[in-house]
């Protein structure tokens, strides 16, 4: 079975930021920088729109990414 999804994300690509660490009392927590979270959300929303009512895939996938 073959399933192809094409979508485009407008704007400048944002690289994955390094995790940040914050001390919260006796504990240390990690979090992603806001720019990373915002861009990942933008990509996820574009993918969800492109997939329509299809269920998320639970199998290995191949990806071809073109950045221009």
Residue 27 lies in a domain: yes
CA distance 4 to 26: 47
Residue 25, in any domain of the structure: yes
Assigned domain for 29 exists: yes
Residue 57, domain member (yes or no): no
Number of domains in the chain: 1
Q: In this predicted structure, what is the pLDDT of residue 34?
A: 93
Whose CA is closest to 43, among 31, 5, 62? 5
pLDDT string in tens for the chain (68-residue length)? 677 889 999 989 999 989 999 998 999 999 899 999 999 999 999 999 998 888 877 888 888 888 87
1 domain-assigned: no
- Structural domain contains residue 32: yes
Range of the domain at 37: 20-51
Cross-strand partners of 24: 27
- pTM of the predicted protein model: 0.76
Helices (H), 1-68: 34-51
């Amino acid at each position: 079975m073959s399933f192809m999804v094409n979508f485009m994300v407008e704007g400048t690509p944002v690289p994955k930021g390094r995790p940040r660490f914050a001390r919260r009392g006796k504990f240390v927590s990690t979090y992603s920088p806001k720019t990373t979270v915002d861009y990942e959300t933008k990509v996820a929303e574009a993918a969800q729109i492109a997939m329509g009512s299809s269920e998320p895939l639970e199998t290995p996938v191949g990806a071809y990414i073109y950045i221009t």
